[in-house]
Structure 1
Amino acid sequence: MSINPEQVANTAKLAKLKINADEATEVAERITAILDLVDQMQAVDTKQVEPMANALDAVQRLRIDQANPSENAQARRAAFQTIAPATDQGLYLVPKVID
Structure 2
Amino acid sequence: MAITPQDVSRIAMLARLQLSADEERAMLGQLNEFFGIVARMEAVDTSGVEPLYTPLSAVAAVQLRLRDDAVTEPDQREANQASAPLVEDGLFLVPKVIE
Using structure 1 for the length normalisation, give the TM-score. 0.58
Q: Residue deviations 1:6-31, cap 9 Å, x none?
A: 21112212332111111011001101
The aligned amino acid for 2:63 is Q
Structure 1 runs (4+) greater than 4 angstroms displaced:
61-65
Superposed displacement of residue 42, structure 1: 0.5
1:9 maps to 2:12: no
Which structure 2 residues correspond to residues 1-99 of structure 1 after superposition, within 5 A?
Answer: 1-57=1-57, 58-60=61-63, 62=65, 96-98=79-81, 99=87
Identify the range of structure 1 (7-16 vs 18-27) with the bigger mean alpha-carbon deviation.
Answer: 7-16
Identity of aligned residues (%): 35
The aligned amino acid for 1:37 is I
Equivalent residues, number: 72
Using structure 2 for the length normalisation, give the TM-score. 0.58
Partners of 1:32 and 1:64 lie apart in 2 by 42
Superposed displacement of residue 63, structure 1: 8.9
The aligned amino acid for 1:7 is D
Partners of 1:25 and 1:48 lie apart in 2 by 40
Task: Tell which structure's C-alpha radius of gyration is larger.
Answer: 1
Superposed displacement of residue 56, structure 1: 1.6
Give ranges in structure 2 of 5+ residues lacking alignment: 69-73, 82-86, 88-99
